[in-house]
Structure 1
Amino acid sequence: MGLNMTAINAQSLQDVLTAFDASSAQQLDLKTNAFEIHLDKTAGEIATNTPTATQSIMPEKTNDTATETNQQDIKAPLVGIAYLAPKPGAAPFVQVGDIIKVGQTVAVIEAMKLINEVPSTVAGKVTRIIVTDETLVEFGAPLIEVEVTS
């Protein structure tokens, strides 16, 4: 099942994922100007080739005043739609200024109707929320910036 789109937003990607999941198709290739995604039900995983997805989907860092030793990003462990709260209208998992612990849930990522918690990999103070709610993220994309405490 091949599909070629020129632009896609989080909702339209969710619609594509929902339709693919409900269909009898075993594979789906989705290509846009910004990214390429390959879904394969038989392989049980999502593989992507997204050389420009970060530029077009994720906001770029514009003010990097942090020292490299004290700041660390919590990154997306998989491709999917990032949510910053457990449900619509609920308080976010974390906010700028919050002190977090290793293993604490800081976001969730939905992929193929599965909700995956994103645990913090560091302890410290949240200095910036990089991703916006309900945004498509790629594997390894920075989600939250933390000032690491020792």
Structure 2
Amino acid sequence: MDLRKLKTLIDLVSESNIAELEITENEGKVRIVKSGGVVAQVAPTLMAAPAPAPVALAAGPAPVAAAPAAAVVETGHVVKSPMVGTFYAASTPGAKPLVEVGSQVKEGQALCIIEAMKIMNEIEADVAGTVTKVMVTNGQPVEYGQPLFIIE
């Protein structure tokens, strides 16, 4: 893959809401992951050629507002989204949320619903405890691995 094409892909990822992009072509495989800056990994598919070291490209300085957020440490068990989709706090529109801050939950109890590809998926608590924080709002899109709840 030529450098101009790689640079274009990196620019597209850095300017979009995409967190990760992987493209495989005849001459190689490119994986671009965004986390503050943009990191591109290039791995050739040809076995005869030695694998190049990962290439790190900065997308520019990270926003100043992002630094204090990284310093915040949440206590308790974090329930993360197992998929990409849309977060719903209740099972039907207008209904009471399945859990709220202060709700006692049991292991296996439904916490929310994530809609993915028109399928409603119940997300269950993997620990028992008290919900201390709901980290997303109703109708908000969520990413894979995004924190949804804090349970203590």
Determine the structure 2 residue equivalent to 1:138. Answer: 143
Q: Whose radius of gyration is greater, 1 or 2?
A: 2
Taking the aligned partners of 1:111 and 1:78, their CA distance within structure 2 comes to 8
Determine the structure 2 residue equivalent to 1:83. Answer: 88
Shift of 1:99: 0.6
1:125 is aligned to 2:116 = no
* AA partner of residue 79 (structure 1): V
Determine the structure 2 residue equivalent to 1:34. Answer: 17
* AA partner of residue 135 (structure 1): Q
Shift of 1:61: 7.5
Determine the structure 2 residue equivalent to 1:17. Answer: none
Q: Looking at both structures, which has the greater relative contact order when contacts are Cα pairs under 8 Å and sequence separation is at least 6?
A: 1
* AA partner of residue 114 (structure 2): I
Q: SS of the counterpart of 1:34?
A: coil
CA separation of 1:65 and 1:107: change in aligned 2, threshold 3 A: closer
Mapped contact 1:34–1:50 kept (Cα < 8 A)? no
Report the RMSD for the aligned CA atoms in angstroms.
2.7
Determine the structure 2 residue equivalent to 1:103. Answer: 108
CA separation of 1:146 and 1:61: change in aligned 2, threshold 3 A: farther
Q: SS of the counterpart of 2:82?
A: coil
Shift of 1:86: 0.7
Mapped contact 2:78–2:148 kept (Cα < 8 A)? yes
Mapped contact 1:128–1:144 kept (Cα < 8 A)? yes
CA separation of 1:115 and 1:144: change in aligned 2, threshold 3 A: same
- State the number of aligned residues: 98
Taking the aligned partners of 1:141 and 1:82, their CA distance within structure 2 comes to 11
* AA partner of residue 92 (structure 1): P
Taking the aligned partners of 2:120 and 2:114, their CA distance within structure 1 comes to 6
In structure 1, the gaps of 5 or more residues are 1-30, 39-48, 54-59
* AA partner of residue 35 (structure 1): I
- Give the TM-score taking structure 2 as reference length: 0.56
**Percent of counterpart pairs with the same letter?**
37
